[in-house]
Amino acid sequence: DAKTTQPPSMDCAEGRAANLPCNHSTISGNEYVYWYRQIHSQGPQYIIHGLKNNETNEMASLIITEDRKSSTLILPHATLRDTAVYYCIVRVIYDGGTSYGKLTFGQGTILTVHP
Amino acid sequence: EAGVVQSPRYKIIEKKQPVAFWCNPISGHNTLYWYRQNLGQGPELLIRYENEEAVDDSQLPKDRFSAERLKGVDSTLKIQPAELGDSAVYLCASSFGNHEAFFGQGTRLTVV
């Protein structure tokens, strides 16, 4: 599976946009970019995913560079409840083997939203 | 709609004792995952099921860990005997094929 690199921690002021970067320079054509977050003492929560086009849902926006080697998760108006560990994951969708569907978590980015 | 349900939420056992965790996935989800999360680390996959078949158990320590999903719905993960190093949060997740996976709250295991 392609590896991802994320900053260990970031801060953001409440009400401002939080932009979380992720580097995935070895991503393959059959791998999607997924983002999950984990609030303290809870299981990981799915946020968004994309292949090569930018995506937006009610939680966030995902911007993927044209060469697909990096991406940015954007929380447009961060709140205190967005304080969590954010994981960027590249996920094989199908390869005919056993790796497809596998979610491999790294260390993630600890996002702290402060008043 | 109910999410992924895990029980128990917390478990404290003495080393060398057996322990079992139960997971009920989201209705209709054929893929089920068990993950282990050590303190301060990201979750690590232990085993993945497609229906009742374990398609990836390469990270499961088979000398003491076992899992089953007999009818392709709910699943049980067992440790026997437990060691101090098994203290962690055990997470279950489910998905419909390769669509996004949804996680349960996890079971926090403490081995003393």
Query: Tens of pLDDT along B38-47?
Result: 999 999 999 9
| Confidence at B109, pLDDT banded by 50, 70, 90 | very high
pLDDT in tens, A7-52: 999 999 999 999 999 999 999 888 899 999 999 989 999 999 999 9
- Average pLDDT on B22-31 reads 95
pLDDT in tens, B50-76: 999 998 898 999 999 999 998 889 999
Q: Are B112 and B12 in contact (CB under 8 A)?
A: yes
Q: Which of B41, B98, B101 sits opposite A100 (nearest CB)?
A: B98
Judge: A103–B33 Cβ closer than 8 Å, yes or no. yes
Query: For B52-56, which contacts have Cβ atoms below 8 Å and span 24 or more sequence positions?
Result: B55/A98, B56/A98, B56/A99, B56/A102
Q: Which of B35, B42, B56 sits opposite A106 (nearest CB)?
A: B42
Q: Which residue has the tokens 């979750």?
A: B43
* A-chain residues near B35 (CB < 8 A): 105
Determine the pLDDT at residue B111: 98
Determine the pLDDT at residue A95: 61
Judge: B56–A87 Cβ closer than 8 Å, yes or no. no
Determine the pLDDT at residue B2: 81
Judge: B103–A98 Cβ closer than 8 Å, yes or no. no
Question: B74 to each of A75, B26, B32, B37, how far by Cα in Å?
Answer: 35, 9, 9, 21
Judge: B48–A101 Cβ closer than 8 Å, yes or no. yes
Q: How far is A113 from chain B (nearest CA, A)?
A: 19
Q: How far is B98 from chain A (nearest CA, A)?
A: 5
| Confidence at A98, pLDDT banded by 50, 70, 90 | low
Residues sharing a CB contact under 8 Å with residue B96, sequence separation 6 or more, in sequence order: B28, B29, B30, B31
